[in-house]
Each structure stands twice: as C-alpha cells, then as structure tokens.
C-alpha cells in the first residue's frame, strides 16, 4: 500500500518481491539497450558480466558486492523515463536468501519523479525477514473519476517497515506499517477537486497490515514450478488533514508449472477496500492485479477479482518470449466510463541480462477491451 497503485507496482518490482532482482535492476540497465543484439556471451554485455561476477552463494556481510546503474522504464500511467538504483547485496548465512541495502530514484517524461532508500534483510537461515523503505515522490497522472479524467499531481513522502517470521517451511506471517503525508492538486486546468480527491488532498495516513505468505517457488526471478501466495489484511487511519478509517484486504496467488519447452504462469488476485479507503489505495485493474493494458489510476474500485495467465519461454540463452491474456471484474468503479468486466491480451519479448540470476529485460504490448494498445518496458517478469 503505497501512494497509488502504479507507484505500489513500481516499488514492488524494485523493492519487495525479489532482493536479487532489486540489486540487479541498476546493474543491467546500462547495458541492455546497446547490446540487444549481442551474442550469447557474458563478455558481450558488461552489465551481464558484472552480475555474473556476484558470488551470491558466499555468506557474510564482507562477501557482498556493490552494484548499480540506470534502467529504462515505460508505464501507461507515468510515461517513459529512467530509474537509477544502486546498493550492496550480500548473504547473512548460507541458508538465507540474499539481503540488500540500496538507494534509488526515477524520473519520467511527464515530470514525475521519486527517490528513496531501501533495505531487505533475511537472516537466521531465512527465519526472519525485514524490509524497509523511506522516500519521497511527485507523480503526475490522470485519475478516472465520474465521466472524465482529472489531471492530478500527487506528492507523498512515504515510510514503510515490515517484519516476517517463518513458522513452518516456506510459510511466513508478518506485520507491516506504512506512513505517508499526502498532498494532491490539479496539474493543469481549473475547477474544484472531485469530492473523493478533496477529502484526502492534504492528509497524513497510517496503515497497519497483517500478512501471510507461502512460497514454494523454485526460483525468485524466473520460476518454473511452485506457488507463491501472499495475503494482506490492513487497517488505515487518516491521522491529520481529515478524519476517518478504512479496511483493505488483498490476495495474490501465483502458480507456475513447466509446459512443453516453456512455463505456464497463472495469477489470481482478490481485493476488497471499504468505502472509506482513499481513492489511491482502492483496488486497481492494472495496479493491484498487474493486468497489462491498463493505466493503474483510471480503473479503480471497491472490489476486484482477476485471473491472468502467461506462457513464457526462451528462444536461446538470451532471447525469450511471452504470450498473455487476463480478465478482471471491478466492483463499484470510481469512474462511470469504466466497465465492471475488463480484459486484455498481448505478447512480449525478453532479453536475458543475467543468465546467472535469470533476470529478463521485458517489453510487452497489450490490447484491452477498450481497443487501446499499450507498451510496457520493465525489468523482470510481470508476476
């Protein structure tokens, strides 16, 4: 639960889901574009060579590596831009996943930007996991409300701390707290803000969550088998600049299985946010469920259920592909122009910037039920 659904997805890719992927974000970006047609040899790609040199199996803080560089990005909400991430990756012990300290920032062509510091620590043979983020963002986007799009600027300093404990093999329970100081205004045009925006235009919000995760994936970056179930039940309170509280719960269930020469990946997402939830924390087609082809700030509602599937594979050591389709039901849409049932489909290409860590640079083109085509550029897999 960050400043809005698109920002939440951005931070999820960069910070939460995979520490290895987070660390590799910066290292790979510099070499991706000029080496798209390079041969399948690490020597042809300095970014890949830097990644492969990281001995992620060596335990101990002093055995870690410093890595970082820029990464191109393209999202339907914030436009095209560049992210810069750098940090230190290491392992506390041989049985724990990698840990990370890092700094990062991004800027896009619609004058959105953000920066912050992050850490994820896995220790005591992966019994404990701690993640932290603190930063500041300024986002320009179009909000779908009523029968029109409202151009908004959102400024939100954000801090978040989460702790997970492994109570059984591959199972974790945890708590997570988020605090944000939110300011909203029109980025262009005149007129009053819609009521749902005005209520939180100058609001500080605190959120507490209980989390559960069951993760049996065989690889965190390019899984071919297993499942990952993540459940969050949260309570939020507007502590200043307004009044009110809200509840929000969501579940993401990912399942992977080998099929032919590729992998069949499926994700089911369920979300429910009560009527007092600020609009930028509501359930989002394209944000909460990662469904491609949709701007995360136009398809907001009080409840969501979506299912998507993707078939992905590799042509060679470096080049791969993906074909995907998905559909979602959005209850109580914020905008009257948004259908309750939405779907999209498309294809993507992959360039493996690290054979050691199985990290791909991804370009997807998706078409939705509104006959819009959208291109997304990012690092890693969509889910």
Give the separation between CA 308 and CA 289, rounded to whole angstroms: 9
Structure confidence at residue 100 (pLDDT): 84
Contact assessment for residue 201 and residue 232, using Cβ atoms and an 8 Å cutoff: no
**Can you give the pLDDT at residue 57?**
52
Query: Residue 329: what pLDDT?
Result: 97
Per-residue pLDDT of the chain (383 residues; tens, 9 = 90+): 333 444 444 334 333 333 333 333 333 322 222 222 222 333 333 333 333 344 455 678 887 778 777 788 888 888 898 888 788 888 899 888 888 888 888 899 999 998 888 898 999 998 999 999 899 989 999 998 888 889 999 999 999 999 999 999 999 999 999 999 999 999 887 778 888 899 999 999 999 999 999 999 998 789 999 999 999 999 999 999 888 999 999 999 999 999 999 999 999 999 999 989 999 999 999 989 989 999 888 899 999 999 999 999 999 999 999 999 999 999 999 988 899 999 999 999 999 887 777 888 899 999 999 999 999 988 889 88
Q: Where are the beta strands (DSSP E) in the chain?
A: 60-75, 79-91, 99-108, 113-123, 128-145, 148-168, 171-186, 202-215, 226-240, 245-259, 262-273, 283-284, 300-314, 319-333, 341-354, 359-368, 373-379
SS3 83: strand
**Burial annotation 240-267 (CB, 10 A radius, 16+ → b, else e):** eebeeebebbbbbbbbbeeeeebbbbbb
Q: What is the CATH number of the domain that holds 161?
A: 2.40.160.50
Number of domain units in the chain? 1
d(C-alpha 197, C-alpha 216), whole Å:
40
Give the range of the structural domain holding residue 21, as residue numbers without chain letter. 5-379
Residue with tokens 């300024």: 138
Specify the pLDDT at position 43.
32
Could you give the CA distance from residue 284 to residue 296 in angstroms, rounded to a whole number? Answer: 6
Nearest residue to 26 via CA among 99, 77, 85, 114:
85
Backbone dihedral angles phi then psi of residue 253, each to the nearest 5 degrees? -125, 110
Residue 37 sits at φ, ψ, to 5 deg, of -105, 15
């Amino acid at each position: 639960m960050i400043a809005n659904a698109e920002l939440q997805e951005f931070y999820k890719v960069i910070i939460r889901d995979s520490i290895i992927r987070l660390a590799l974000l910066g290292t790979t970006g510099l070499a991706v574009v000029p080496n798209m047609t390079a041969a399948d040899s690490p020597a042809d790609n300095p970014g890949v060579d830097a990644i492969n040199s990281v001995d992620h199996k060596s335990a101990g803080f002093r055995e870690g590596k410093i890595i970082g560089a820029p990464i191109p990005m393209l999202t339907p909400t914030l436009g095209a831009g560049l992210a810069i991430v750098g940090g230190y990756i290491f392992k506390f012990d041989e049985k724990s996943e990698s840990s990370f300290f890092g700094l990062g920032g991004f800027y896009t062509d619609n004058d959105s930007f953000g920066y912050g510091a992050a850490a994820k620590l896995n220790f005591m043979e992966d019994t404990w996991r701690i993640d932290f983020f603190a930063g500041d963002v300024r986002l320009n986007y179009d909000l779908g409300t009523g029968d029109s799009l409202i151009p908004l600027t959102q400024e939100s300093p954000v801090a978040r701390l989460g702790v997970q404990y492994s109570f059984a093999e591959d199972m974790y329970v945890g708590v997570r707290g988020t605090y944000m100081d939110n300011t909203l205004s029109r980025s262009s045009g005149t007129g009053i803000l819609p009521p749902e925006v005005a209520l939180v235009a100058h609001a500080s919000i605190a959120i507490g969550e209980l989390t559960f995760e069951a993760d049996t994936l065989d690889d965190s970056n390019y899984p071919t088998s297993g499942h990952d179930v993540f459940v969050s039940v949260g309570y939020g309170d507007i502590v200043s600049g307004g009044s009110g509280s809200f509840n929000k719960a969501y579940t993401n269930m990912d399942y992977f299985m080998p099929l032919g020469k590729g992998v069949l990946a499926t994700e089911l997402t369920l979300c429910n946010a009560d009527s007092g939830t600020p609009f930028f924390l509501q359930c989002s087609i394209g944000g909460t469920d990662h469904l491609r082809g949709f701007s995360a700030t136009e398809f907001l509602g009080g409840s969501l259920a979506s299912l998507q599937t993707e078939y992905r594979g590799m042509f060679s050591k470096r080049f791969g592909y993906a074909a995907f389709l998905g559909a979602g039901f959005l209850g109580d849409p914020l905008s009257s122009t948004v259908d309750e049932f939405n779907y999209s489909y498309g294809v993507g290409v992959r360039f493996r910037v690290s054979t050691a860590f199985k990290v791909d640079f991804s370009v997807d083109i998706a078409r939705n039920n509104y006959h819009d085509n959208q291109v997304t550029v990012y690092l890693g897999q969509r889910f």
